[in-house]
Amino acid sequence: MNIVLLGLNHKTAPIELRERLAIGPQQLEAATRSLVQSPGVLEGMILSTCNRVELLTSQEPDAPHLLDFIGKYFRIEPELLAPHLYEYRQEHAVRHLFRVACSLDSMVIGEPQILGQVKSSYLAARSAGAIRGHLDKVLQRAFVVAKRVRSETQIGSSAVSIASVAVELARKIFGSLENKTVLLVGAGKMSEQAARHLVDQGAGSVLVANRTHERAVQLAQRFKGRAIRFDDLYSSADQADIIITSTGSAQPVFRREHAHHFLQQRRGRPMFFIDIAVPRDVDPAVNKLDGIFLYDIDDLQSVAGSHLKERSREAELAEAMILEEVTRYKRRLHALNVAPEIIELQQTAEQIRRAEIRRVASRLQNLSPEQQAAVETLTRGLVNKFLHQPVQAIKAAASEGNAAAVDAIREAFGLSTAGHSLAGEDGFDEASGIDEPWTAVGDKDRIP
């Protein structure tokens, strides 16, 4: 089980680079399928959000570096990506996954959206047949840990999100949102959250434009706003003081010539664009126009930073929970790795027992079937009692990471590494008495 996580995020790479690696929800399953078709990759999942792109894999030890896949799939030079990437392996990858799921690695600490995004990526990977073994158990545990952090800390109190930070920025810019007209371009979850915060802050009117007009109508009605047809976007956008845009478009929705036209129609009154889409919806050249103020998702970091201090105490509690879970994972994994030695020890003892029974078989011929069964039970019991202490010693040494002690026990009992072929896919056999890295989660915690 060689777990590898490779990725980049808002801390390591600018939006100009992140948007080149963005994968839309419709392409996620196909991209994940391509990932697990790469040489040496056994299982895999891709997490693609506005702030990060990460590949989580279980792979063979000699598998090619995941950078090869990223370069080929996204048609981007590996040397351009390399300075911005981070890579974690084994328990370090597990810890990073837990932190991401618990929203400790988010731009806005404690924001609730990331867990849903991880679950969506997991379901896409399951649908693609890319998760079916050890990685599945790790991800299931990530969801349990995230749920525990949410329920046992206050990290999600006064929940914030990228959308709420965007609205906060708009309020700071204008001083007040009263009588301001806001245009939401895109009617997804991010836009819905933005609309809710805008109404709470007293926005005068809300316009909604979406490629699927019915969805725009539904969202506009929910907030007593007005839907405009996407075909009328460019002829209507000049009505807005603030445009918050979050679509899944691969190309900019607003270009410099559009913004120039809006300014002419507004007779010089300023406009604010808050672009929370990746790839970006607004061409950066728009920001060069006098009277236009453009903020993209990376610009929101300065506002998001103000939330970090008030959540630091809760974040520390969450980090402690994650460390506890990762330590448990390491111990279980160490124990899992000695399952072949335990199996071999049990099988060797059983072979000796049977050989001794055969050696004295002639003396047992006159015993009744009940007496022979009693001898069988007696000898099995003696072997099990004799093995109990060595097995417990091997498990204890392995869980503590004491390789020297494991080697000493192996040498004392003449064990080889041949037993490795006797274990299951994850090095587990029921006879060994060794648990999986985690026990199965309950139905209420499992993602279907």
Q: What is the pLDDT of residue 261?
A: 92
Active site residues: 50
Select from 66, 133, 51 the least CA-distant residue to 100: 51
Identify the H or E element spanning 44: strand 41-48
Residues 345-386 have pLDDT tens digits of: 888 888 898 999 888 888 888 889 888 889 889 998 898 898
Residues 43-65 have pLDDT tens digits of: 999 999 888 999 999 998 888 89
* Cα 71 off chain centre by: 21
Residues 162, 27 contacting (CB under 8 angstroms): no
Where do you find CATH 3.40.50.720 in the chain?
A: 162-304
159, pLDDT greater than 60: no
Residues listed for the chain: 448
Question: What crossing angle do the helices spanning 213-222 and 189-200 adopt, rounded to 10°?
Answer: 30
Select from 125, 16, 30 the least CA-distant residue to 81: 16
Write the DSSP assignment of 183-211 as a string of letters: EEE--SHHHHHHHHHHHHTTBSEEEEEES
DSSP 249: -
* DSSP β-bridge partners for residue 243: 183, 273
Task: Give dist(CA 419, CA 134) in Å, integer.
Answer: 20
Residues 127-156 have pLDDT tens digits of: 989 998 888 888 988 998 888 888 888 766
Fold of 162-304: Rossmann fold (3.40.50)
Q: Strand 52-59 vs strand 2-9: parallel, antiparallel, or unpaired? A: antiparallel
Angle at 158 between CA 153 and CA 159, to 5 degrees: 85
Select from 15, 1, 12, 103 the least CA-distant residue to 59: 1
Q: Three-state SS for 96?
A: helix
Residue 442 is which amino acid? Answer: G
98, pLDDT greater than 90: yes
Residues 66-97 have pLDDT tens digits of: 998 998 999 998 888 889 999 999 889 999 99
Highest mean pLDDT among 3-17, 100-114, 420-434: 3-17
What class does CATH assign to 2-159? alpha beta
Q: Is the pTM of this model over 0.85?
A: no
Q: What is the pLDDT of residue 397?
A: 75
Highest mean pLDDT among 20-29, 174-183, 184-193, 386-395: 20-29
Q: Three-state SS for 398?
A: helix
Residues 428-447 have pLDDT tens digits of: 333 344 444 444 444 444 55
Q: What is the pLDDT of residue 422?
A: 29
| CA within 13 Å, CB half, 369 | 0
Q: What is the pLDDT of residue 156?
A: 65
Task: Give dist(CA 142, CA 397) in Å, integer.
Answer: 27
Residues 20, 38 contacting (CB under 8 angstroms): no
Where do you find CATH 3.30.460.30 in the chain?
A: 2-159
* Cα 161 off chain centre by: 17
Q: What is the pLDDT of residue 157?
A: 62
DSSP 56: E
Task: Give dist(CA 81, CA 73) in Å, integer.
Answer: 13
pLDDT category at 26 given cuts 50, 70, 90 is: confident
